[in-house]
Amino acid sequence: MLRIGAVSYLNTRPLVYGLAQRLAGLGQLSFNLPSRLADDLAAGRLDVALIPSIEYFRGVGQQIVSDAVIACRGPVWSVRLLSRVPIGEIRCLALDEGSRTSAALVRILLAEQYGLHPETVPLPMESDPDTIDADAVLLIGDRAMHPAAGVYHEIWDLGDRWCRWTELPFVFAMWVARQDVDVSQLAPILSAARDEGLQQLAEIAGREAGGHGLTTPDLHHYFAHHLHFRLGAEEQAGLHRYQRHAAKLGLIANQRELVFQ
């Protein structure tokens, strides 16, 4: 049985629609934070996981399993930089501990657009962002989707900033397997779950919205217009662009090609 890990955030729901049932007899599905999934995959505790894209570039002996991804082609809503000072004055940046791809992305944007290399401190999942002593805070996932309670000088949607700057999509997470794992039966299952999920966005939004403090129309709009779930040629170009900038900042050790099963 394959050990398969998926992200526990809302943005995963269309990718995992009916997936547990589709995996019957082939694999078992569990959920966790993106950063923890990456650690479990690297340590061999998982065979396949939906991991932050930055972790694919850091890993070795891994393969991309499916064209089902979490990406955006514009504002993403669920990844935000909240700055208490003008952007050019950020000296200390708190990074959501659930984030790795977005943590690298915000550092790339600050370095390339403002020449900034701020000190970074962790923002634990259980911490209130308003209590963190930092000039700016990076939030991802569900808690980034609600209006900020504090007073912020500027708020960035990182998907919007990247897409405007590069004119390319951004890929936040991908299904990745260890290279010695046979995923020949899994790849079509992941794509089929994604395709069915995209046909059931209204149902998913109606089921999930209330528990996350969102309206059904708002959540449906998030799934349908803020997120993109297919890895195409432009998404691959965006990944390569991200890889180059991450390597330039020393956030990844080496360049590697995208390896598909």
Domain ranges of the chain: 2-71+170-232, 79-166
- The arithmetic mean of pLDDT across residues 157-169, rounded, is 98
Distances from the Cα of 163 to the Cα of 82, 160, 190, 209, 225, angstroms: 18, 5, 26, 27, 14
**For the chain, give me the number of helices (H) and strands (E)?**
9, 11
- Please list, residue by residue across 156-178, b when 16 or more beta carbons sit within 10 angstroms of its beta carbon and e when fewer do: bbbbbbbbeeeebbbbbbbbbbb
Confidence class for position 164, pLDDT limits 50, 70, 90: very high
Neighbours of 257 (CB within 10 A): 7
The answer on pLDDT for 34 being more than 90 is: no
Angle among Cα 16, 141, 145 to the nearest 5 degrees reads 115
Say if 2-71+170-232 and 79-166 have the same CATH topology.
yes
Confidence class for position 256, pLDDT limits 50, 70, 90: confident
The answer on pLDDT for 157 being more than 80 is: yes
Distances from the Cα of 161 to the Cα of 73, 79, 80, 227, 238, angstroms: 11, 11, 10, 15, 13
| Lowest mean pLDDT segment, chosen from 79-83, 212-216, 246-250, 251-255 | 251-255
Give pTM, 2 decimals: 0.94
Structure tokens at 155: 């708020």
Q: Residue 85: what pLDDT?
A: 96
| 2-71+170-232 fold | D-Maltodextrin-Binding Protein; domain 2 (3.40.190)
Q: Residue 98: what pLDDT?
A: 81
Q: Residue 107: what pLDDT?
A: 97
Q: Is 61 helix (H, G, I), strand (E, B) or coil?
A: coil
The answer on pLDDT for 257 being more than 80 is: no
pLDDT digits (tens, 9 = 90+) for 175-228: 999 989 999 999 999 999 999 999 999 999 999 999 988 999 999 999 999 999
Structure tokens at 204: 């998913």
Q: φ and ψ at 32, to 5 degrees?
A: -165, 180
Q: Is 240 helix (H, G, I), strand (E, B) or coil?
A: helix
The answer on pLDDT for 72 being more than 80 is: yes
pLDDT digits (tens, 9 = 90+) for 109-119: 999 999 999 99
Separation CA 79–CA 144 (nearest Å): 6
The answer on pLDDT for 87 being more than 90 is: yes
In this structure, CATH architecture of domain 79-166: 3-Layer(aba) Sandwich (3.40)
| Lowest mean pLDDT segment, chosen from 12-16, 68-72, 128-132, 184-188 | 128-132
| Lowest mean pLDDT segment, chosen from 11-20, 43-52, 111-120, 121-130 | 121-130
Angle among Cα 180, 193, 33 to the nearest 5 degrees reads 65
Q: Residue 40: what pLDDT?
A: 95
Q: Residue 261: what pLDDT?
A: 61
Q: Residue 147: what pLDDT?
A: 67
Confidence class for position 77, pLDDT limits 50, 70, 90: very high
Q: Is 222 helix (H, G, I), strand (E, B) or coil?
A: helix
Average pLDDT of the chain is: 93
Residue 17's closest CA among 170, 223, 179, 158?
Answer: 223
Place of tokens 């993403």: 76
